A = this chain, B = another copy of it.
Amino acid sequence: MATFSPPFRRKSPYMPFGDQRNAPFYGRDILSVKQFKRSDLEYIFGVAHEMREMVERVGSFDLLKGKILANLFYEPSTRTSSSFTSAMERLGGSVIPINEVRYSSVSKGESLPDTIRTLECYADVIVLRHPEVGASALAAQYARKPIINAGDGVGEHPTQALLDLFTIFSELGQMDGITVTMLGDLKYGRTVHSLARLLSLYDVRLNYVSPDILRMPPEIIQELGDKSIPQAEFDALEPVLPQSDVLYVTRVQKERFEDQQVYESVKGAFIITPETMHNAKERMIVMHPLPRVGEIHMDVDADPRAAYFRQMEYGLYVRMALLAMVLGKA
């Protein structure tokens, strides 16, 4: 019997050897949109664009062959989970799917740090979806391997915001000078909050169209105001649609209204139909984080400006880029 020794303590991935400028996100966590500068976004979108070109040419390639992603979902999200799985598989890597945490003994009283420190023995990167705000930051504090936040309750969902921005970039070819109109529930949607923050890194104009009780939170307006981003609030889409380059639609949920008569009286104003599109720019794009439940009529789908399914595809490229980057392969 040979003599064994305790495990070789690997170098932290947070201290990469070699030229950091060539791998700026190597070993880093992706936790919040607040961590990105404009130059970071350009770097990410450059890599995402390369991913798209590779997928369109060859479908998949072996950049992350031998790497393992633990896809740890404490609450179900087929869309996000499938997107990360596909991203990893198109890069030649493998996935440990963990979708049943709520039934599992892992969740029975075990702390999140313990679960994370167990899984990082098996995987090279962890994607985490968790119902509690701050869960990803807590996980990252304990993990030696990179953590990617795939949604922490009402907190953040940074990869959604990145894919939203990459969609605008790719579809419009520019960011500076554009007008983005956000429509629907602007109070509770973490999606629009994160996107607004990212957009504030550019020279954009923002319109907020919502029912009175679902207005964009004052702290977001304040934050963007401090950066001199032009913002305006409306209770109807008509006045601002003709000037919009992007129409970002979110769902107005019935349950948000105490008075159902108020809901009934306003809901029609937040549904997009082919008629709505008559007054929009010819090169405007309609976005939606999906799933939609009636906010955009299916007859709009055939309109080339309907970008919401392409948006899903851009999401794949952004997630491929992020996985490659944090694993030092971009």
Contact = CB atoms under 8 A, between A and B. Distances in A.
Interface string A83-125: 1011001101010111111011111111101110111011110
Contact of A119 (B82, B97, B314): B82
Contacts of A2: 46, 49
A7 B122 contact: no
Contacts of A293: 108-110
Nearest to A53: B8
Q: How many copies does the complex hold?
A: 3
A70 interface: yes
Interface in A43-82: 45-46, 49, 52, 56, 58-61, 65-68, 70, 76-79, 82
A174 interface: yes
Contacts of A65: 60
Given A78-B107, A82-B118, A83-B121, 16 more contacts: A3-B174, A6-B310, A7-B314, A59-B124, A60-B94, A77-B105, A78-B101, A78-B104, A78-B115, A79-B118, A82-B122, A86-B122, A110-B291, A110-B293, A117-B309, A118-B312
23 contacts: A2-B46, A4-B49, A4-B173, A7-B56, A59-B124, A66-B90, A70-B82, A76-B103, A76-B105, A78-B107, A78-B115, A79-B105, A79-B118, A82-B98, A82-B118, A82-B122, A86-B122, A99-B100, A108-B291, A109-B291, A117-B312, A118-B312, A121-B313
